[in-house]
A and B are shown apart, each in its own frame.
Chain A
Amino acid sequence: MKKTIEPRFDETYYTEVLDNGLTLVIWHKPLFTTTSCIFATPYGALDVSQTLKDGTVICDPAGIAHFLEHKMFECEHGDVMTDFSEMGANVNAFTSYSETCYTFSTCQKDITKPLNLLLDFVQKLEITEESVEREKGIIIQELAMYQQMPDSRLFNETFKALYVHHPLNEDIGGTAESVRSTTKQQLQECFQRNYHPSRMTLAIVTPLEPQKILNLVKENQSKKSFPEHLPLSRTSIDEPFEVANPHAVIKMDVGRTKVSLAYKFKPLLKSDKDRIAEEWAVRFLLESHFTSLNPDYQNWLDEGFINDYFFYEVDFGKDYAMMMFANETENALQFQTFIEQQLAELQNKTLSLKLLTQLKKRYAGQAMRIYNSPDDIASSIIKGLFCKVDYFTLIRLIESISQSQIQDAFQQLDFSNYSLIEITSKEK
C-alpha cells in the first residue's frame, strides 16, 4: 500500500490496486468519528450507448444507469438498506452523467460488516421481473418530482435545447417512456459490462487503522471471482454543431420566469488535464466579469439586467462543451442582448494580475476546506480518479494558470451556436 503525505494540507492517504484491478484509496482522518465510503463505477447517464472492443454497439434506454442503481439495493431477502440500518450505517447512492456511486457512512468503531455489505451488494445483482416492474412506478414519481421543480427543469430543458443526439438531452433518470421500456435483461447486461472491479474505485475516509481496512477489503475480494472484463467505451456521438432548438419556451405554473442562455461549443479534443485546465481558465475570466468582482455588477443588479438568481455555468466534458447564463426576468431577449454585449466585451479583456492572484488565493482556501468533511473527501477522490486529474493535481493546475492561458482559452470559443430557454407562467 502506497502512503502519500501532503504536508501543505496536513493530509495522509494510502492507495493500492488489488489483484482483481479494484482501485482502493484510504484517506486517514484520525480525529474524526465518521467513516465515509464510496464504491463507484465510471458508468453514468451519458453511457447509454457503449461500444465493445470488437466494434459492437449496445444501446440501452435512457436512464438505465440510474435504474440499475435503484435495483442494486435489492437482495434475496428484500433490500440491503435494512441490513445497513441494523448496523447503524447510512447507505445511499446516486447516479450522475458520468458515474454511479454507492455510499455508506457510520460512526461505528468496527466497519467490518457495513464495508463487506457494500462490497457484496454492489458486486452482485439479484433482481426479478416483478421487482423491476415495481421499481418503474417509483422512478417515474422521481422523474415527476424533478420535472415540477423549476430550477432542475431549467437545467434539463437547457441541455435538451442544445443537444440533438447527445444523451445530455435526456434527464439522468430518462423519461417515463424509457423507464417503462427497460427490461431485466438489459439491467443484467449493463451490470456485467460496467461493474467489474477493474473499472471501479473504492474510496474510504476513516479514523480507523488503514492497514486493517486494506486487509478487510482484500479478504472480501479474494473470495470472489469475476469473469474476464471486456474493454468498452462510451459510443462516440455524431452530434451536429448546431443546437437542437434555438428558442424553447416551457410553460409551468410559476410566478417568475426563469431564463437560460446557453452556448454550445465543439468538444475539446485534448487530454483530460488540458481540457480541465482550459475549463478553469475560462471560469477565471467569467468569475472576474460576471460576479461582484466586477464594479459594474452592482449596476446590473440596480438596473434590473440581472437579479440575485443570476449565475453562470461552464462545462467542458470529454465529448461536449457548453456554457450557460441563467437569470429570472420577464424580458428574455433583453437578457440575451445583455449577455451578448458582455461576452463581446470579454473578447478584448485581459484578466489583471491582481485579480488573477486574488482568485487563486480564494480557490486555494476553498480547496483546503473540503478536508473538513469525510463525505466531501470521498467524493473528490472518486471525481479525481475518474477524470484522471486528482484533487491535488487540480489545485496545482489552478495555481499555475496564467493570464495568457485565460485569454487564449476564451478567444478560442465560438459563440455562434446558442439556445434561449424560458421557463414561464402558463398564463403568458
Chain B
Amino acid sequence: MKSEKKSAVVLQLQNTSKFKDILISVRFLCPLSRKDALTRSILSAMIQDRSEKYDTKQKVTEALDDLYGASILSRTLTYGKAHMLEFRCKVLNEKFCTSAHLEKQFELVHQFLFHPLFIQESFQEAKDNLVDAIRRKMDKPSSYASNQALMMIGKDSPLMETCIPELEEIEAITLDDIKNTWNTMMNENHITVQVQGEIDEDVIRHYVHRFLPFQSSNELCETEYLIHRTDVQEDMQTKAIDQTMLIMMFETGINASHPDFWKLRCANALFGQLPTSLLFQEVREKRSLCYSISSSVLSFEGCMSISTGVSIERLEETKEVILKQFERMKQGDFSNQDLQTAKAMLKDSILSTADDMNAMLNFEYQNLLLHQKRSIDDFIACIDSTQKQDIVSLFQQIKHRVTFVLKQEVSHEEDN
C-alpha cells in the first residue's frame, strides 16, 4: 500500500489483482465528543440514504444496480479519543463488465459526499432508525451487558462518549446540527482516501483530484489513551432471559502503540481469545459451564474484557474458574507449547488480513493513526519474539476492575 499526502488528504493506494472489485474508502477523523458522535451517526445514515442528484431511494438503487450491484456503506467508529466516519463504495472491476465505469464510481462517491440531501423527511427517518437500532441493541442481552460493563470501567473517560445514548439525546439533535457537522467534517476533519483493487495509480490520482476536491484537512487528532481506575466495581441487574450474561473487565495499561502491545495480544490469545485458550478449555470444555466464552483487547483504551453466558445456578462457579485462570496467567501456569500454539494462531490471523479487502484497508489506516509504518512481517516478528516471562510480567500488571452480571429471572421457563 502506497501512502502519500497530496494537498489536503492522505491518499493510500493498494494495487492488487486479487479481488474482483475496486473499493474506494473515504475516512473523516475528528476528536470524539458524545454529541458529535451521535450527530455523525445520523449524518452517516443520511449520506448513504440519498443525495441531491439521487434524491429518492429508488434512484440510489438504480444508480447502484447500473454499476452491477455496487455497494455503498457509511459507518461510524471510535478509535479511542477520536471518531471516524467512513464512506465506502465497492464496484465490480470494469474488466469483468461490458462498459467502463471507474469514472462513474468516483462520480457516485462525489455525489454522496459533496451533495448530500438535507431534508426533514430523510433526517427524521435517520433519527427513527437510530432509535430502533438502539432498542434492538438493548434487547440483545449480550450487547446490553457489554454496554453496562463499558459504562462502569469507562466512567469519566472518553469510553463513556461511545456508550449507548439515551433517546432524549437523539431527540435533541436538529437538522441544522447535521448540516453544521457535515460542514465541519468536509472542511476541518483529517481526511484519508483509500483505493484498492486492480488500478492504474495515475488514473486514480487524477480521479481523486477531480472528484474528491477536499479543501483542507486537519492534522491527525489523538486516538489512544489508557483507562485508569482505582476502584473495583460489581453490579448485577435482572432480566427475563434464558441465560445469565457475565462480563468482566480489566485494565491492561497497554494500548496499540505500546512496545508490549503484541505481547498483550499473545497473552490474550493464550488466556481467552482462542478455542485452545485457558478460559475456553477450563470453563467450557472441562466443566461444560457455557457454550461461548472469550476475552478481547480494546486496543485504543488499554482494556481487556471477558464475556460469557451461563446458567444462573453456575454463575459463582464460573466466576471462580475465570479468576483462577487469570491467576494461572500471572503465575506462568501454562506450558510453552500453549504459548507456541497461541502465537501460531495469532500469526495466521494476521497473515489472513492480506486476503480481505476491508481488513487490509483497516490495517493501513491503523498504521496511519498510530504514526507508524509497520508491515504484517513486523507484527509477525513481534509475535515470534514473545516469551513466557513476557506474558507473566504483563499479566501481573493487569488489574481486574469490573464485574457486571445480567441475571436471568429464576422464575423464567427453563427450556423453550
Taking Cβ atoms with an 8 Å cutoff, the residues of A that contact B are 8-10, 31-34, 79, 81-82, 85-91, 105-108, 134-145, 147-150, 175-177, 252-256, 291-295, 297-298, 301-302, 307-309, 328, 358-359, 361-366, 368-369, 371-374, 426
Given contacts A141-B310, A297-B58, contact A365 B92 (CB under 8 A): yes
A302 / chain B contacts, CB cutoff of 8 Å: 121, 125
B95, closest chain A residue (CB): A10
Whether the Cβ atoms of A255 and B344 lie closer than 8 Å is no
Segment 1-42 of B: residues with Cβ below 8 Å from A:
16-21
Please tell me if B288 contacts chain A, counting CB pairs below 8 Å: yes
A70, closest chain B residue (CB): B291
A33 / chain B contacts, CB cutoff of 8 Å: 351-352, 354-355
Given contacts A145-B292, A256-B135, A372-B20, contact A295 B348 (CB under 8 A): no
Whether the Cβ atoms of A293 and B58 lie closer than 8 Å is yes
A150 / chain B contacts, CB cutoff of 8 Å: 136, 139-140
Please tell me if B274 contacts chain A, counting CB pairs below 8 Å: yes
A9 / chain B contacts, CB cutoff of 8 Å: 96
A141 / chain B contacts, CB cutoff of 8 Å: 243, 288-291, 309-311
Cα separation A293 to B136 with both chains bound (whole Å):
26
A293 / chain B contacts, CB cutoff of 8 Å: 58, 61
Cα separation A293 to B63 with both chains bound (whole Å):
11
Cα separation A423 to B241 with both chains bound (whole Å):
13
Whether the Cβ atoms of B348 and A106 lie closer than 8 Å is yes
Cβ contact of A253, chosen from B17, B241, B345, cutoff 8 A? B241
Segment 118-168 of B: residues with Cβ below 8 Å from A:
121, 125, 128-129, 132, 135-136, 138-141
Cα separation A362 to B60 with both chains bound (whole Å):
13
Whether the Cβ atoms of B291 and A308 lie closer than 8 Å is no
- Cβ contacts B285-324/A at 8 Å (1 or 0 each): 1001111100000000000000001110000000000000
Whether the Cβ atoms of A144 and B311 lie closer than 8 Å is yes
Whether the Cβ atoms of B355 and A81 lie closer than 8 Å is no
One of B64-72, B75-83, B108-116 contacting the partner: B64-72
Cβ contact of B65, chosen from A254, A359, A372, cutoff 8 A? A359
Whether the Cβ atoms of B135 and A135 lie closer than 8 Å is no
Cβ contact of A139, chosen from B128, B240, B291, B349, cutoff 8 A? B291
Please tell me if B398 contacts chain A, counting CB pairs below 8 Å: no
B96 / chain A contacts, CB cutoff of 8 Å: 8-10, 368
A82 / chain B contacts, CB cutoff of 8 Å: 276, 341
Given contacts A177-B415, A309-B136, A369-B21, contact A81 B275 (CB under 8 A): yes
A298 / chain B contacts, CB cutoff of 8 Å: 56-58
Cα separation A64 to B274 with both chains bound (whole Å):
26
A359, closest chain B residue (CB): B65
Given contacts A88-B348, A144-B243, A254-B139, contact A31 B17 (CB under 8 A): yes
Whether the Cβ atoms of B242 and A371 lie closer than 8 Å is no
B97 / chain A contacts, CB cutoff of 8 Å: 365
B337 / chain A contacts, CB cutoff of 8 Å: 86
20 extra interchain contacts, Cβ-Cβ under 8 A, other than A87-B344, A328-B132, A373-B355? Answer: A34-B352, A79-B285, A85-B341, A89-B348, A91-B275, A135-B288, A140-B415, A141-B290, A141-B310, A142-B291, A144-B242, A147-B243, A150-B140, A252-B139, A256-B132, A301-B125, A307-B128, A308-B129, A358-B65, A361-B65
Cα separation A392 to B227 with both chains bound (whole Å):
52
8 sampled A-B residue pairs with Cβ under 8 A: A33-B355, A85-B345, A107-B348, A135-B288, A136-B288, A142-B292, A293-B58, A307-B132
Whether the Cβ atoms of A147 and B416 lie closer than 8 Å is yes
Whether the Cβ atoms of A255 and B135 lie closer than 8 Å is yes
Given contacts A137-B289, A144-B309, A372-B357, contact A307 B19 (CB under 8 A): no
Whether the Cβ atoms of B341 and A358 lie closer than 8 Å is no
B64 / chain A contacts, CB cutoff of 8 Å: 362
Whether the Cβ atoms of A365 and B58 lie closer than 8 Å is no
Whether the Cβ atoms of B348 and A32 lie closer than 8 Å is no
A364 / chain B contacts, CB cutoff of 8 Å: 68-69
Cα separation A256 to B243 with both chains bound (whole Å):
20
Whether the Cβ atoms of A309 and B276 lie closer than 8 Å is no
B141 / chain A contacts, CB cutoff of 8 Å: 148-149
Whether the Cβ atoms of A255 and B92 lie closer than 8 Å is no
Whether the Cβ atoms of A88 and B345 lie closer than 8 Å is yes
B70 / chain A contacts, CB cutoff of 8 Å: 365
Cα separation A292 to B351 with both chains bound (whole Å):
39
Whether the Cβ atoms of A32 and B355 lie closer than 8 Å is yes
A253 / chain B contacts, CB cutoff of 8 Å: 139, 239-241
A309 / chain B contacts, CB cutoff of 8 Å: 132, 136
Cα separation A86 to B336 with both chains bound (whole Å):
12
Cα separation A231 to B8 with both chains bound (whole Å):
68
- Cβ distance A270 to chain B, nearest Cβ, rounded Å: 28
- Cβ distance A154 to chain B, nearest Cβ, rounded Å: 11
B139 / chain A contacts, CB cutoff of 8 Å: 150, 252-256
- Cβ distance A378 to chain B, nearest Cβ, rounded Å: 13
Please tell me if B219 contacts chain A, counting CB pairs below 8 Å: no
A86 / chain B contacts, CB cutoff of 8 Å: 337, 340-341, 344
B16 / chain A contacts, CB cutoff of 8 Å: 31
B342 / chain A contacts, CB cutoff of 8 Å: 85
B347, closest chain A residue (CB): A88
Please tell me if B399 contacts chain A, counting CB pairs below 8 Å: no
Whether the Cβ atoms of A148 and B242 lie closer than 8 Å is yes
B235 / chain A contacts, CB cutoff of 8 Å: none
- Cβ distance B178 to chain A, nearest Cβ, rounded Å: 18
Whether the Cβ atoms of A294 and B58 lie closer than 8 Å is yes
Whether the Cβ atoms of A90 and B348 lie closer than 8 Å is yes
Cα separation A34 to B311 with both chains bound (whole Å):
38
- Cβ distance B243 to chain A, nearest Cβ, rounded Å: 4
A297, closest chain B residue (CB): B57
